């Protein structure tokens, strides 16, 4: 084990490590063209979720947009709070990345824009009809979000050490999503953290290869696939394209020991 990790691993009891939860993952049913691949428990995989969203009535989307417009300054206030919290958060994650051989990438996009917030509210409202829009906004954990890229060979050690260090700094991991699953349309580790003041941020962990694939190949497809007005047939093709792209990404050894196994949905 590298000496840069030695200071945190003797205190592993401080890290509430969530093992890969096979109960949350199941396979597509027999006869499905994606047979042998994994799907989220109780769903039909990313394509199934995509089909569910794509059936949204344009009038429903318009009604949601009108409700967003009636939210007053709530969204703007959340963006302002994110901007106020960001400098200290950026300093914190940069420090931790430097300690464990990581590099922070995509810092230009660390604060979620108002347009991105509104788009997410629409998607969540379509997925969960009846949920108040102000509650959807309040539940967002990625108003400030970061990406840490770690060397493939020390990815698991580095991610663990970074998470432990954040917990020692008073941050609780409230989401522990491990998307390194066979057949997924995205691969990486996405954790969300919250402190005693209620400040939240998201931290994604990538290898150099997974980050490059996300940025250069997968992300444009993902954004197109989750647009409510993308036709179902096109969305299915985009999902298949993403799955094929991510199948070529090498999975780090031992990565299933971090977080909870999840399948990405749109």
Query: How confident is the prediction along the chain (266 residues), in pLDDT tens digits per residue?
Result: 555 665 555 444 333 333 333 333 333 333 333 333 333 333 333 333 333 444 568 889 899 999 999 998 999 999 999 999 999 999 999 999 999 999 999 999 999 999 999 999 998 999 899 999 999 999 999 999 999 999 999 999 999 999 999 999 999 999 999 999 999 999 999 999 999 999 999 999 999 999 999 999 999 999 899 887 889 899 999 999 999 999 999 999 999 999 999 999 88
* Main-chain phi, psi angles of 27, to 5 degrees: -90, 155
Q: d(Cα 171, Cα 199) in Å, to the nearest integer?
A: 9
* Sequence-ordered alpha helix ranges (H) in the chain: 3-6, 45-54, 58-69, 74-99, 114-127, 133-139, 155-168, 208-213, 219-225, 232-247
pLDDT of residue 57: 80
Structural domain boundaries in the chain: 3-261
Q: d(Cα 238, Cα 223) in Å, to the nearest integer?
A: 10
pLDDT of residue 18: 39
Q: H-helix or E-strand containing 146? A: strand 145-149
CB 24 within 8 A of CB 262: yes
Q: How many other CB atoms are found less than 10 A from the CB of residue 99?
A: 16
Q: Which of 201, 168, 204, 169 is nearest to 186 (CA)?
A: 204
CB 180 within 8 A of CB 255: yes
pLDDT of residue 230: 86
CATH number for 3-261 (one of 3.30.460.10, 3.40.50.10190, 3.30.450.90, 3.40.50.2300): it is 3.30.460.10
Q: d(Cα 145, Cα 109) in Å, to the nearest integer?
A: 8
CB 217 within 8 A of CB 257: no
pLDDT of residue 24: 37
């Amino acid at each position: 084990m590298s000496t840069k990790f030695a200071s945190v691993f003797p205190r592993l009891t401080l890290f509430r490590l969530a093992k890969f939860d096979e109960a949350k993952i199941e396979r597509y049913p027999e006869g499905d063209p994606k047979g042998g691949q994994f799907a989220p428990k109780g769903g039909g995989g990313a394509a199934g979720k995509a089909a569910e969203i794509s059936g949204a009535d344009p009038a429903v989307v318009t009604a949601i947009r009108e409700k967003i417009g009636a939210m007053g300054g709530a969204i703007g206030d959340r963006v302002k709070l994110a901007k106020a919290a960001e400098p200290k958060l950026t300093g914190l994650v940069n420090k931790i990345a430097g300690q464990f051989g990581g590099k922070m990438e995509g810092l230009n996009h660390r604060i979620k824009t108002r347009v991105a917030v509104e788009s997410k509210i629409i998607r969540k409202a379509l997925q969960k009809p009846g949920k108040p829009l102000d509650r959807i906004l309040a539940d967002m954990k990625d108003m400030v979000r970061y990406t840490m890229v770690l060397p493939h060979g020390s990815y698991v050690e580095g991610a663990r050490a970074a998470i432990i260090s954040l917990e020692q700094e008073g941050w609780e991991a409230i989401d522990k999503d491990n998307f390194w699953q066979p057949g997924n349309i995205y691969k990486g580790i996405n954790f969300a953290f919250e402190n005693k003041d209620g400040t939240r941020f998201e931290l994604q962990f990538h290898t150099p290869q997974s980050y490059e694939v996300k940025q250069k190949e997968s992300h444009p497809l993902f954004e197109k696939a989750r647009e409510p007005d993308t036709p179902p047939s096109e969305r299915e093709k985009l999902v298949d394209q993403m799955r094929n792209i991510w199948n070529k990404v090498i999975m780090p050894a031992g990565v299933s020991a971090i977080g909870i196994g999840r399948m990405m949905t749109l």
